[in-house]
Amino acid sequence: MADEGRLWFLDWLRVLAVGGVFVFHTLRPFDDGDWHVKNAQTSGGISVAIAFLGLWGLAFFFMISGAAAWLALRWRTATGFLRERLLRLLVPLIVAYVLLSPPQYFIEEHHKGRSHDSFLGDAKTFFSDLRGDPPLWLRDTYHLWFLVYLLQFALLGLPIFLWLRGPQGRRLVDWIAVRCERPGRILLLAVPLVPVHLLFQAAPGPDHGWGEFVFFFDFFVVGFLVLSDDRLIPAVRSNAVYGLALGLGAFLVGLVTGIMDFLDAWWDDPGYSWPYVWYFTLITLAVWGWLVAVLGFGLRASAFQRPLPVPIARAAMPFFLIHQPVILLIAYYVVGWNAGIATKYAVLMPTAFLLSALLAWLLSTLPGVSMLFGVKRQALRQPEHDSGMAGEDTGGARADG
C-alpha cells in the first residue's frame, strides 16, 4: 500500500489486466481453437499461451472487481452501490452492444463465408433476434459477456457482501484471517472452491454458461473477502512467491498429464469423470495460485503505489470496449496475406493497439460521449478518481477507513 494508505495498486493491476486481455485477443486468430477470425495456419505454442493466459487472467479481472466492490460499499449505501453499478456498467454495455456487436457480427459472418450481405443487411439480421441463453441472456455479446457477468455479480454479490460486513460475517472473516496469517495458509482458500467448481463446471449449457458463471463469481467474492480484513492483504503480499509456485506447479502438472488433450475433447462433450475431477482441481489451484502471485507482487511493486495517470485511467474502459472490434477488423485483412504467423502478428498487434488507444482516448475526452462508454464524471477529482475498467472505485479509496 502507498504511504497514504491508498489502494492505487488495484488501478495499475486493472490496467495491466486490460492489456493482458488485448494481447490474449490478438493471439486468438493464430491458436488452434475456433474464433471469430482465424488464420489458415495455427500454432500449438500459441494455443498453450492462450490456455495459460485464459486460465487465470479473466478470474483476476473478476477478483479485482470484487475487491473494488468492497471499496465502493465503504462510501455508498446498498442502493447507491446498485445505482452506480447500473450507470457505470449497464449504460456502456447497451451502447457498446448496439454499436460494436453488429460490426463484429458482419466481420465474422463474411470471414467464415456465412453471409455475403451488406453491412446494413447483416445488422438487420443481427437485431432480428437478440435472445440468448442464460446466463448471458443476449445473443452474440462477443467480449461484452464480461460486463453481462459483472452486472449480475453485483446484484448477486450484494447480499453476500452485506452479510460479510455484519456481525456473523465478521466472525467468519476473522476466523479466516487468523488462519491465513501463517505462511502459505492463504493458498488454502482454494480448497472450498474446488468442490463448487467440480459440481458446476460440467453442468450442460452454452459457451459462457453456468459453470463458468459460478467459477468467476467465486473469485469475485474472494476479491471482496481479501480486502475485507486488514490481515488478509499482508497475507497475500507475503505469500506471492508461494502463490507463484502453486500456480506454475499446478499448470505444469496439468500439461505433463495431458490437460490440453483432455480439454480439447471435453469442451465438445463435457461431463463428469475422474479425469475431469483431476484436471479441474488443478485448474482451481493454479488459478488461485496465480491470483495470489499477481496481487502479491502488485502490492510489492513500488511503481504501483502512486496514482494512475488520469488519461490512462479514463481511457481504460473505452479501450476494453473498442479493442476487440479493432482487432477483428485488422485481422480480417491480415490473415489473408501470404506471410507467416510472426509477420502477421507483428503487424496486427501494434496496429490494433495504436488504433484502439487512439479511439479510447477520443471517447474518454468527448463531453457526454465519455459517460456512455463508462468514464466516470468525477475522474479528475481526488480522492475518487476513475479506476478505468468496469466502473470500479479503487483508486483514492483509503485502506485505513
The string of pLDDT tens digits covering residues 270-294 is 889 999 999 999 999 999 999 999 9
Per-residue model confidence (pLDDT) at position 387 = 37
Using pLDDT thresholds of 50, 70 and 90, give the confidence band for residue 53: confident
Say yes or no to pLDDT of 5 above 50: no
CB of 74 closer than 8 Å to CB of 392: no
Q: 331 is written with which cell numbers?
A: 485481422
In this predicted structure, which of 45-54, 114-123, 245-254 has the lowest mean pLDDT? 45-54
Tell me, yes or no, whether 175 lies in a domain.
yes
Q: For residue 6, what pLDDT is reported?
A: 61
- Decide if 122 is inside a domain: yes
Q: Distance between CA atoms of 23 and 268, rounded to whole angstroms?
A: 26
* CB of 396 closer than 8 Å to CB of 5: no
Residue 207 CA to residue 267 CA, distance in Å, equals: 9
- pLDDT at residue number 203: 77
Range of the domain at 116: 8-391
User: Half-sphere exposure of residue 194, counting CA atoms within 13 Å on the CB side?
Assistant: 16
Tell me, what DSSP letter sits at residue 303?
G
In the prediction, which pLDDT does 401 show?
32
C-alpha to C-alpha distance for 224 and 254, rounded to whole angstroms:
29
Q: Is residue 194 part of a domain?
A: yes
- Measure the CA–CA gap between 282 and 96, rounded to whole angstroms: 35
The reply to whether 3 falls in a domain is no
Provide the grid cell at 168. Answer: 456473523
Is the pLDDT at 396 greater than 60, yes or no?
no
Asked if residue 143 belongs to a domain, the reply is: yes
Take residue 393 and report the three cell numbers written for it. Answer: 472505485
Q: What are phi and psi of 6, to 5 degrees?
A: -95, 145
pLDDT at 378: 54
Over residues 28-44, mean pLDDT? 95
Is residue 1 included in any domain, yes or no?
no
**What whole-number percentage of the chain has pLDDT above 90?**
75
CB neighbourhood size of 184 (10 A): 15
Within 10 Å of residue 327's Cβ, how many Cβ atoms? 29
Average pLDDT of the segment spanning 178-194: 94
DSSP β-bridge partners for residue 131: 138
Return d(Cα 344, Cα 122) in angstroms, integer.
28
The answer as to whether 280 is a domain residue is: yes
CA distance linking residue 18 with residue 64, whole number of Å: 12
Q: What is the pLDDT of residues 78-119, one digit of tens each?
A: 999 999 898 889 999 999 999 999 999 999 999 999 999 999
- Reply yes or no on whether the pLDDT at 133 is more than 70: yes
Helix (H, G, I), strand (E, B), or coil: what is residue 238? helix
Distance of alpha carbon 218 from the chain centroid: 13
Residue 401 domain-assigned (yes or no): no
Number of domains present in the structure of the chain: 1
Nearest-10 crossing angle of helices 44-75, 145-165: 40
pLDDT (mean) for 394-399: 40
Decide if 325 contacts 104 (C-beta within 8 A): yes
